[in-house]
Amino acid sequence: MAAMTTSPIRQAPGLRARKARRLRLIRWFLLLVFGLIFAVPLVAMIEFSTRSTDLTGPRTLEYWRQIVDYPDLISAIFASLELAAITAIGALVLLVPTMVWVRLRLPKLTRIVEFLCLLPLTIPAIVLVVGWAPIYLWINYFTPAQYQTSPLVLAFAYIVLVLPYMYRSLDAGLQAIDVPTLTEAARSLGAGWTTVMVRVITPNIASAVLNSSLLAVSLVLGEFTVASLLNYVNLQVAMNNLQQANAGVSIAVASAALLFVFILLIALSFVGRRRRSGGVVEPFPSGTGH
């Protein structure tokens, strides 16, 4: 009996150390392989956009320099940036007061608000486009002629697309603070509701506001489905249109946009880290970005 119990214990350290070393080796090897696989398409893009003739010519930044020679592309970039800002602000204005108000006065509506906010996750963007088409006909009908082609009206649709991500992020932010006490304190000191929202609640959920805005911006900059099917030109549509005429420049723009969104999302993962230990950016299911 004694021999039976002691032998595994005596044996264990050496065995375990060897096993651990082997596991560490496998771990590093596999992580390296995965890393390389994920890097290939990104490297290919950079290669493609920095070689003069496809992948065989000498290295040059000509394609990157030529980006400014395409006015349609430049205006599409600005349109997408404006859209991103409008969408983020619009969604914040819609969500923050509603979520605070529901918490304070209409707790019975919490479930239904959450359900509605998360609903776009289960309805593919391509499906929503089909339903938005007649609504956009109406919007066009009421838009003055000179703004008919402006892609900025897409913000109405984009606010719906960003709802789930912004809701989750803001909900986590509001859960971390004591909304009723803060509001009551402010109200009893004579603050109006606007002051409560803008100067009391918002500063207290600043990181959630920033987090959700960055998510919205990254989503809007990558949006293609809605814009292309409703015939508006945003960054992604312009890039896609340019593909036939000049693949090099279109891939250069795509790399630049991707780099920008990467930086944004990495910044986001550090903003979010304080609250969520994993520092994980919320996934975007249901093909919103794909």
Partner 1 sequence: MTDTVAAADVLVGDQPSRAGRRLPLSWLGAVPFFAYVGVFLLLPTGIVVFEAFFTAAGQPTLENINALTTSVVIQAFIKSITLSLISALLGAALGAVLAYMIASGPPDGMTRRLWTAAAGVLAQFGGVTLAFAFLATAGPVGLITLAVNNLGGDLTGSWLTDLIGLIVVYTYFQIPLMVLVFLPALDGIRPQWREAAESLGGTGWQYWRHVAIPLLTAPFLGAVLLLFANAFAAYATAAALISQGGIIIPLQIRIAFTSETVAGQENVAKALALGMIIVVAIAMSLYAMMQRRSARWLR
The answer to the question of residue 152 lying near partner 1 (CB under 8 A) is no
Please give the residues from 7 up to 26 whose contact with partner 1 meets the rule CB under 8 A.
Answer: 8, 23
Strand partners, 59: 51
Please give the residues from 121 up to 150 whose contact with partner 1 meets the rule CB under 8 A.
Answer: 121-135
Q: CB–CB of 237/224 below 8 Å?
A: yes
Residue 223 CB, nearest approach to partner 1 (Å): 8
Question: Of 213 and 250, which CB lies nearer to partner 1 in the complex structure?
Answer: 250
Among 154, 170, 223, 271, binds partner 1 (CB under 8 A): 223
Question: Of 82 and 279, which CB lies nearer to partner 1 in the complex structure?
Answer: 279
Using CA atoms, how far residue 79 sits from 70, 74, 82, in Å, is: 14, 9, 5
The answer to the question of residue 195 lying near partner 1 (CB under 8 A) is no
Contact string 54-93 vs partner 1 (x = CB under 8 A): xxx-------------------------------------
Distant-in-sequence, close-in-space partners of 151: CB < 8 Å, separation ≥ 6: 76, 79, 80, 83, 227, 232, 233, 234
* Alpha helix stretches (DSSP H) within 50-70: 62-66
Residue 281 CB, nearest approach to partner 1 (Å): 3
Q: CB–CB of 169/215 below 8 Å?
A: yes
Q: CB–CB of 275/176 below 8 Å?
A: yes
Cα–Cα dist 141/154, whole Å: 15
Q: Residue 155 corresponds to which amino acid?
A: A
Total number of residues that touch partner 1 (CB under 8 A): 93
The answer to the question of residue 184 lying near partner 1 (CB under 8 A) is yes
The answer to the question of residue 194 lying near partner 1 (CB under 8 A) is no
Residue 232 CB, nearest approach to partner 1 (Å): 14
Question: Of 209 and 214, which CB lies nearer to partner 1 in the complex structure?
Answer: 214
Q: Residue 238 corresponds to which amino acid?
A: A
Burial of 240-260, coded b for 16+ CB within 10 Å and e otherwise, reads ebbeeebebbbbbbbbebeee
Residue 145 CB, nearest approach to partner 1 (Å): 22
The answer to the question of residue 41 lying near partner 1 (CB under 8 A) is yes
